[in-house]
Amino acid sequence: MSDDSHARFCRFQTPDPSIPPREQSPMLPQELAWARERAFMHRFSWFVVLLPPLSIGLVLPGLAYLTILGLTQKLFAPDLDVDRIVGDSLGWLALVTVLFVAGWALSNYLRDSRDPTKRYWQSLPDQGLVELERHTLVSGISLWANDFDPDCNSLTLWKNDKLVSVQSSGVSQWILAMTAAGHWLVLKDEFPGDFCYGREGRMPEKDKQMQPRQQLAIAFAPGTQLELGQRFEGAPVPLVETPYWMSADEIKRLTEAAHHWIFFPPDRYAVVNAQDARWVQRLVERAQASVGPQHE
């Protein structure tokens, strides 16, 4: 991960003062499990603190010293007795190395122990609160994607009151829902199973497919746009079910428009911006055309 990508990743998971206050609610068990999962990811680790100083810091001072002596001998003093100087310098070189390693470790400790993102996530499960953003869904259309990633082939699901890791099939169902506010809202559900390469995968059974209801409350970690769960209530949303499998380019574009991961205000989770709405509408029209003419 590049420095810029890492900075964006950390910023996305840190409370943002530009996000306005939202309705608060006690965490449901699944949301609490996800909060604990995130907290574990952001835990303080002595391994992370000590590994760089002990693995690299022990050799850096000596390596730098030898490099300087070698350059000095080559450029300015050909008769310089490097071996004698090194032998006479072992005591203070060891002291410098110890101080260097200790300083590096202390710097890492202060950085991680005071890191606002780590402190936020460590306290969140005990607070037990999420913020809710509510949407009323008017209608929707269901599309499909087969986007198996061999480098990320596992999927975390809520089963038997706990989070479990299973193999991902690469198949996902995407629902493009129109809200009462006139926005496109993008919902996604991924499915476990055997994977296959190609544009089309195997649809899951009907009872395992996503069936959203009209009232949706998206649960966020307070002060962030990191989703911890979705709460549905009310009647089922009128849904056009299509056999349309998106291309790789369509998946990439819809993923960007959906704002599900690493995005910042004024973008909102799952809400399609005005500049992407026309493209989403054309995608909906292509998906509807795959169903064929509708007869009343």
Report the chain's mean pLDDT, rounded to a whole number: 91
Least confident among 7-21, 142-156, 228-242, 271-285: 142-156
Query: What is the average pLDDT across 187-202?
Result: 84
Query: What is the average pLDDT across 237-266?
Result: 96
Higher pLDDT, 295 or 84: 84
Query: What is the average pLDDT across 49-60?
Result: 90
Query: What is the average pLDDT across 43-68?
Result: 89
Q: What is the pLDDT of residues 129-161, one digit of tens each?
A: 999 999 999 999 999 999 877 777 889 999 999
Residues of the chain with pLDDT > 70: what percent? 96
Determine the distance from the C-alpha atom of residue 280 to the mean position of all C-alpha atoms in its chain, rounded to a whole number.
23
Q: Round to whole Å and give the CA distance between 295 and 287.
A: 17
pLDDT of residue 198: 66
* 69-78, 164-173, 232-241 — most confident range: 232-241
Query: What is the average pLDDT across 258-268?
Result: 95
Query: What is the average pLDDT across 119-132?
Result: 96
Per the CB < 8 A criterion, the answer to whether 167 and 193 are in contact is yes
pLDDT band at 252 (very low <50, low <70, confident <90, very high): very high
Which tokens sit at 91? 């005591």
Domain boundaries, the chain: 28-127, 130-291
pLDDT band at 296 (very low <50, low <70, confident <90, very high): very low
Query: What is the average pLDDT across 192-219?
Result: 88
Per the CB < 8 A criterion, the answer to whether 145 and 112 are in contact is no
Q: At what angle do helices 116-127 and 29-41 cross, to 10 degrees?
A: 160
Q: What secondary structure letter does DSSP report for 132?
A: E
Q: What secondary structure letter does DSSP report for 199?
A: S
Per the CB < 8 A criterion, the answer to whether 245 and 254 are in contact is no
